[in-house]
Amino acid sequence: MRAAWGVILLFLWAPQNCMAQLCGQSYDSRIATIHAAAQKLGGHKPRLVLTGSSSIRKWPQTDTVFSQYDVVNAGFGGSCYSDLWALRDTLIYALRPEVLVIYEGDNDLSDGVPSADILDDANRLLEELSRRLPETAIVVIAPKASRARHHLASAYLALNRELRLVAMDHGAHWVDFWDVQHHADGTLRDDLFVADRLHLNDLGYAVWVRELRRQLPWLDPRN
């Protein structure tokens, strides 16, 4: 009986332990898919590259949202700023973006990465990008609010305040969806999420697109 309980406890512990590790995964298969999709683009439009975690990877109809660009969705689930830094040659420089969108920090905090380390990773990435891609427009998106991680809301807000300063220091555009994901009374809009309460549904992405175009009108293809 003791051995059986040991097996049960191991079974219960293992998935939770695996789920806790987000940063630093192997993304080889996803990278191959990203580059295969990029090679199929016509090349007749400027290129916009979306990088970041699953909130980017799952973003639907980005070719319509950014119809004035050839869009490469280079998002990879579970990623963190340290991952984007480690993979910058293949996921940024090799894709030759004229507009680069970065969404990281969401998984970092959830995975227990200290805010100081997140800011250091973001700073060195943006500093290098400003030197190596001086003509590229860089857009940094603040880590979003979500019900699944709302217990970390104060930490996200503190991180976002500092990330905004880092982005501005390096001439990047800053976009923050936190306020529009909440009601006027400050409560989170649960109608913007799928069942896991972490990832956005179609309405959530529609809110993102509307606010993105309000904050950065030059990304609206209708202008």
Residue 54: give its domain's CATH number: 3.40.50.1110
Domains in the chain: how many in total? 1
188 in a structural domain? no
How confident is the model at residue 25, as a pLDDT?
83
Report the candidate in 111, 108, 91, 109 with the shortest Cα–Cα distance to residue 100.
Answer: 91
Contact 56, 101 (CB under 8 A): yes
213 in a structural domain? no
* Residues of the chain scoring pLDDT < 50: 1-20
2 in a structural domain? no
48 in a structural domain? yes
209 C-beta neighbours (distance < 10 Å), count: 18
Q: Which domain holds residue 170?
A: 27-176
155/177 Cα distance (integer angstroms): 16
First to last CA, the chain: 69
183 in a structural domain? no
- 194-219 pLDDT, tens digit each: 999 999 999 999 999 999 999 999 99
How confident is the model at residue 21, as a pLDDT?
57
For 3-144, list the strands marked E by DSSP.
47-52, 70-75, 99-103, 137-141
- 111-133 pLDDT, tens digit each: 999 999 999 999 999 999 999 99
| H/E stretch holding 39 | helix 28-39
How confident is the model at residue 18, as a pLDDT?
37
How confident is the model at residue 22, as a pLDDT?
77
**CA 72, 73, 76 angle in degrees (round to 5)?**
140
